[in-house]
A and B are shown apart, each in its own frame.
Chain A
Amino acid sequence: MFCLNALSKKLRPEVLFGQTSRNRATLENWAVLVDKENKVSRWRQLNDQVFEPLKKGEERRPAFVCHEKRDIWYSFKKLYIVSCFVRGLSVDDAVNQLNFVPAKGAKIVKDTILEAQEIAVRDHNVEFKSNLWVAESFPEHSYRMMGYRRHARGVMHPIKLGHVHYLVRLEEGPPPKHYYYHSRPRTPQELLDQWFEELRARKISNSL
Chain B
Amino acid sequence: MAFRLLPFQPVLGHVHCSLRGILCASSVEYKQVREFVNNKHRDMKFRNLRRLKVDTKVPLKYMNKYERGVKEGYYQNIRNIKKLWREREIVASASNQVVDEFVPPENLGTAITEEIKKKWSDIGKFGKDKLAIRKIRQFEPEFNLKVFQPDALEIYIKAHECLASNDLDSLGDYVTEHARLTMLLNASKRTIHWKFLQSLESPKVVQVRLFKIDEAGSTFAQLTVRLLTQQMLAVYDRFGRLIYGSEILAKDVLEYAVFEKQLSDEYGTWRLHGKVIPNDRIRMAEHTFVASKEQPQESSAVMTETAPEEDKQAVIAK
Seen from chain A, the residues whose Cβ lies within 8 Å of a Cβ on chain B are 17-19, 26-28, 30-31, 34, 48-54, 60-63, 100, 102, 121, 124-125, 127-128, 143, 145-150, 159, 161
Contact = CB atoms under 8 A, between A and B. Distances in A.
Contacts of A147: 54-57
Nearest to A13: B74
A30 B61 contact: yes
Interface in B233-251: 234, 236-243
Interface residues of B, number: 36
Contact of A102 (B36, B55, B59, B234): B36
B174 to A, nearest CB: 23
B55 A54 contact: no
A34 B64 contact: yes
Contacts of B61: 26, 30
B74 A52 contact: no
Interface of B: 3, 34-36, 53-59, 61-62, 64-65, 68, 72-74, 77, 189-191, 193, 234, 236-243, 287-289
B58 A145 contact: yes
Given A19-B74, A127-B288, A143-B62, A51 B240 contact: yes
Contacts of A28: 65
B54 A125 contact: no
> In the complex, which of the residues A17, A53, A124 has the most CB atoms of chain B within 10 Å of its own CB atom?
A53
A124 B72 contact: no
The 8 closest A-B pairs by CB, nearest first: A147-B56, A31-B65, A61-B239, A51-B240, A53-B240, A53-B236, A54-B240, A148-B55
Contacts of A121: 289
A189 B241 CA distance: 37
A159 B241 contact: no
B259 to A, nearest CB: 31
B65 A30 contact: yes
B238 A50 contact: yes
